Chains A and B, each alone.
Chain A
Amino acid sequence: MENKPKKPTPSIKQNLGRHQDQVARRGNFDEVAMGFGLEEAVTEAARCLGCKTKPCELACPVNVKIPEFVDLVHKEDLGAAASKIFETSLFPAICGRVCPQETYCEFACVLKDKFGPVSVGRLERFTADYARKNGLIKPPACAPDTGKKVACVGSGPTSLAVAAELRKLGHAVTVFEALHEFGGVLSYGIPTFRLPREVVRFEVDMLRKMGVRLLKNVMVGKSISIEELKKDFDVVYIGSGAGLPTPMHTPGEDLVGVYSSNEFLTRVNLMGAHNFPETDTPYYIGKKVVVVGGGNTAMDSARCAMRLKPDSVTLLYRRTRAEMPARAEEVENAMEEGIKFEFLTAPVELVGDERGRLKRVKCIRMELGAPDASGRRKPMPQGGSDFFIEADSLVVAIGSSPNPVIQQSTPGLATNKWGGIIVEEATAKTSLDGIYAGGDVVRGGATVLLAMKDGKAAAKAIHEKLSAKGN
């Protein structure tokens, strides 16, 4: 780039990235955030002070070497920048898109208050995309084979992180996935307009190139037990996720048109139902869609529904915008796309017709009382505030809990009262010897980045175990 700004020039306005037009994008599943061009990236990289104390790197769940890679972006050496990120994370195109950077690196950036932070997430995404599109990515070298065998259960972010780390150290890794696509929540959950599938496939494929064996269509706990796997592998890592949907326990939840967010998102994201009848899996949303919940999954569900072109999508949340667990950016995106938000509102009954199809949702208004266990003000129903919303379909997106199948089928595996697997925090060890666990099956529904962080910590502990004498 000619006349590029000298580094550091923190006073350059922070580049928050461009978005696909808010009306046009309602009609497609293409990515909403458009990503930097080279010039934008180099200019944004010039803002970085390159702090010796690296507050951003320390705040990163997977400790990406941020000041160093940003410097390489400024030098326009994108292959080296990608390799620098690869030293601690093999999934920059995924993380650059789905990590809530505003709570990690960008929150820690010393420029935050005066100028706005360096757009680290957008730079990470740019680096990964540029390197991928220009063939600059080389799979990292792996240590000589150790002869040790590790099974990873599930192919979501936590298992991918474990597989990457342990394969680099020379262990033989096999990943078991129950579905027909790898990536776990990255494939069935997160919509393509936030995370294009070619990105997931490329980063999963890198593991394959490193020699990781990836097996689809095997549901550990049903197809084969943990005890059976333990006979064939030295260590088993359980990263089976939080795939159990939480029902509302509201009358009428069995009506046709009522979906868990898992089912609705899986139909669209994994099965491509939005392309029916070109693809074979159908969906049914009718003209009026209601989504219940205030987290990222609720935003994903509402935004997916909007792209299926109904007359309206209404989101019900029992608290106010301030208490919403969803990323602020996702709430803004959803509002821009024309989703109607009904705050302080909860469904109390779903009413159907004689064919058993949803027709109306009976709601009540709430008010906020004293703070509850979560520290947020508890919503209290307002007496006599009942009203009805017309609805042909409703998506329940009020959370999910750990997938229970492995816990139920593995005697002696200790779990907590929410069904999560209990682990020793620093090592990810479960109550059973040689069995480790991490990600959402331990935490309940958390984030992709925390799942990856768990995976990295577990890989370290597993490597120590496998390298110990007598093993």
Chain B
Amino acid sequence: MNHDIYSTEGLYKIVEKTELSDTISKHVIYAPLIAAKAKAGHFVILRSREGGERIPVTLVDWSPERGTVTVIIQAIGKSTTEMNALKQGDSFLDVAGPLGTPVEIKKWGTVLGVGGGVGIAELYPIARAYKDAGNKVVSILGARNRGLLILEKEMAELGEVIVTTDDGSAGKKGLVTDAMADLYAAGRGPDAIFTIGPIPMMKFVALASLPHKTPTFASLNPVMLDGTGMCGGCRVEIGGKPKFACVDGPMFDAHLTNFDALMKRTAAYREQEKESLERYAKDHQCRIGLH
């Protein structure tokens, strides 16, 4: 089917929605221009309604033929909770993109992907692109428990998968860095590492690979506003210099990244985020109570 990428007909409609866990949903959205231009590492900015926040989410998949893009959203705050409450057939108000700088795909040899939580969703297209480029792909997937582990099967189709959980309910009990240490100890150190997940996890992945001098890249998730390089809110410190995650990233050399500064900046609105979610939850319960 030929899609007019300049048409607004049916734009941003959720053509398919799947619940991956209690809090994680997969949305397949009609956005033919984005689908036609997307590459691994690109992200989009979503808004669900008037007055809604601009939420950046990395693309998990895309189909120029269907004119669709796929994102996986974890309900953490009010905006993501609202987005996951949208149903198949509903539409997002805005989907902007593709944004960011795609990941450079080349032949490294063995590429290790280290994904944590919903970060696994963002790791998937990158791992797939490396596999397609002739690399051997090994993945370490970390989650708090089995219920929060996503895309294990899809990642397994790309190569060996090692699972770690905090409670041992799936794979090995422990941290992703324990599994990394095992690989290095077994003489199976990779040629490059890509990591996406919580900031502390990425920080320790970078620290673990540093002594081995393995090129390591992390996808950073600072607070973002416009996503077009205009506000500088998403500035991160790379090799002592400021970079904008929205246009220069979001993937950067993890060994040059100041993760501690990133952690402080992502906590900027913690109190407001909590207030907003609590208000939403209360409002929601009240409404449920009326039925």
- A residues with CB within 8 A of B: 174, 178-180, 188, 213, 215-219, 222-224, 232, 243-245, 247, 253-254, 256-257, 259-260, 262-263, 266-267, 270-272, 275-282, 284, 355-356, 403-405
Contact A223 B98 (CB under 8 A): yes
Q: How far is the CB of A47 from chain B (nearest CB, A)?
A: 43
Beta-carbon contacts under 8 Å, B185-242 to A: 225-226, 228-233, 235, 237, 242
Q: A223-B34, A277-B275, A355-B267 are in contact. Are A266 and B226 (CB under 8 A)?
A: yes
Does A405 contact B233, Cβ atoms closer than 8 Å? Answer: no
Q: 15 pairs across A/B with beta carbons < 8 Å?
A: A180-B93, A188-B230, A217-B45, A219-B99, A222-B97, A222-B98, A223-B96, A224-B33, A254-B242, A254-B265, A256-B265, A282-B269, A282-B273, A284-B272, A356-B261
Closest B residue to A217 by CB, please name it. B96
In whole angstroms, how far apart are the Cα atoms of A184 and B275 in the complex?
Answer: 31
Known pairs A180-B94, A280-B79; A254 contacts B235 (CB<8 A): yes
Report yes or no: B96 in contact with A219, Cβ–Cβ below 8 A: yes
- Distance in angstroms from B170 CB to nearest chain A CB is 34
- Contact between chains at A284 and B261 (CB < 8 Å): no
Most chain B beta-carbon neighbours within 10 Å: one of A178, A213, A259:
A178
Question: B51 to chain A: which residues have CB within 8 Å?
Answer: 272, 275, 278-280
Residues on the A chain within 8 Å of B67, using CB: none
* Nearest CB in chain B: distance from A229 CB, A: 10
**Chain B interface residues toward A at CB < 8 A:** 5-6, 8, 33-34, 37, 45, 47, 51-54, 78-79, 93-100, 225-226, 228-233, 235, 237, 242, 247, 261, 264-265, 267-269, 272-273, 275-276, 279
CB <8 Å contact, B230 and A403: yes
Contact between B37 and A223, CB atoms less than 8 A apart: yes
B34's closest neighbor in chain A, by CB? Answer: A223
A218 to B31, CA, bound (A): 11
CB distance from B53 to the nearest CB of A (A): 4
Q: A217 vs B99: C-alpha distance in the bound complex, in angstroms?
A: 10
Cross-chain contact A178 with B231 (CB below 8 angstroms): no
Q: Least Cβ distance of A8 to chain B in Å?
A: 47
Given contacts A224-B37, A284-B268, contact A266 B229 (CB under 8 A): no
In Å, the complex CA distance between A263 and B261 comes to 19
Residues of chain B lying within 8 A (CB to CB) of residue A356: 261, 264-265, 267
Asked if B54 contacts A244 (CB within 8 A), the reply is: no
The total of interchain contacts (Cβ-Cβ below 8 angstroms) comes to 128
Chain A: minimal CB distance from B253 (Å): 18
**Which partner residue on chain A sits nearest B97 by CB separation?**
A223
Asked if A282 and B272 make an inter-chain contact with CB atoms under 8 angstroms apart, the answer reads yes
Q: Closest Cβ of chain A: how far from B63's Cβ, in Å? A: 17
Considering the chains assembled together, what is the distance between the CA atoms of A404 and B101 in angstroms? 14
- Chain B, residue nearest A228 (CB): B37
A218→B98 CA distance, assembly (Å): 8
- Chain B proximity of A307: nearest CB distance (Å): 18
Tell me the bound Cα distance from A249 to B249 in angstroms: 21
Whether A243 touches B247, Cβ cut-off 8 Å, given contacts A223-B96, A284-B272, A356-B261, is: no
Known A276-B276, A280-B78, A405-B247; further 15 A-B contacts with Cβ < 8 A: A178-B226, A215-B8, A222-B97, A223-B33, A223-B34, A232-B6, A244-B230, A245-B231, A254-B237, A254-B265, A260-B233, A262-B230, A267-B225, A282-B269, A282-B272
Among residues of A, the one whose C-beta sits closest to the C-beta of B276 is: A277
Q: Which residues of A contact B45 (CB under 8 A)?
A: 217
Q: Identify the closest chain B residue to A233 (Cβ).
A: B6
- Name which residue of chain A comes closest to B36, CB basis: A224
Task: With both chains docked as a complex, state the minimum distance between the C-beta of A145 and any C-beta of chain B, in angstroms.
Answer: 17
A251 to nearest B CB, angstroms? 12
B79 cross-chain contacts in A, Cβ below 8 A: 280
Q: Are A219 and B228 in contact (CB under 8 A)?
A: yes
Contact of A243 among B54, B230, B242, B261 (CB under 8 A): B230
Determine how close the nearest CB of chain A comes to the CB of B238; give it in whole angstroms. 12
When distances are taken between beta carbons in the complex, the residues of chain B under 8 Å from A244 are 229-230
The answer for the CA separation of A256 and B235 in the assembled complex, in Å, is 11
Chain B residue nearest to A216 (CB atoms) is: B94
CA distance A405 to B267 in the complex (A): 28
Nearest CB in chain A to that of B94: its residue: A180
In the complex, the answer to whether B272 meets A276 with C-beta atoms within 8 Å is: yes
A403 to B229, CA, bound (A): 8
Residues of B within 8 A of A263 (CB): 225, 231-233
* C-alpha spacing A271/B276, complex, angstroms: 15
Q: Which residues of B contact A404 (CB under 8 A)?
A: 229
Partner of B264, one of A215, A216, A256, A284: A256
Q: Shortest distance in angstroms between B104's beta carbon and chain A's nearest beta carbon?
A: 15
Bound: A173/B49 CA distance, A: 28
Contacts known (A218-B33, A277-B279); A247 close to B52, Cβ less than 8 A: no
Which residues of chain B are within 8 angstroms of A277 by Cβ–Cβ distance?
Answer: 272, 275-276, 279
Q: Which residues of B contact A262 (CB under 8 A)?
A: 230-232
Q: In the assembly, what is the distance between CA of A403 and CA of B228, in Å?
A: 9
Expressed in whole angstroms, the minimum distance between the Cβ of B269 and any Cβ of chain A is: 5
Of all chain A residues, which has the CB nearest B277? A277
Q: Which residues of B contact A254 (CB under 8 A)?
A: 235, 237, 242, 261, 265
- Chain B: which residue is nearest A232 at the CB level? B6
Please tell me which one of the listed residues A179, A213, A276, A280 contacts residue B226 in the complex, with CB atoms under 8 A apart. Answer: A179
Known: A243-B229, A272-B51, A403-B230. A217 touches B268 (CB 8 A): no
**What is the bound-complex CA distance between A278 and B283, given in angstroms?**
12
Report the Cα distance A272→B272, complex, angstroms. 15
Give the residues in chain B near A178, CB-CB below 8 Å.
Answer: 96, 226, 228
Q: Are B261 and A266 in contact (CB under 8 A)?
A: no
> Which one of A223, A244, A259 has the greatest number of beta carbons of chain B within 10 Å?
A223
Complex CA gap A215/B37 in Å reads 16
Contacts known (A174-B6, A279-B51, A356-B265); A219 close to B97, Cβ less than 8 A: yes
* Nearest 6 A/B pairs, CB to CB: A356-B264, A263-B231, A282-B272, A217-B96, A243-B230, A280-B53
Given contacts A247-B232, A280-B78, contact A222 B53 (CB under 8 A): no
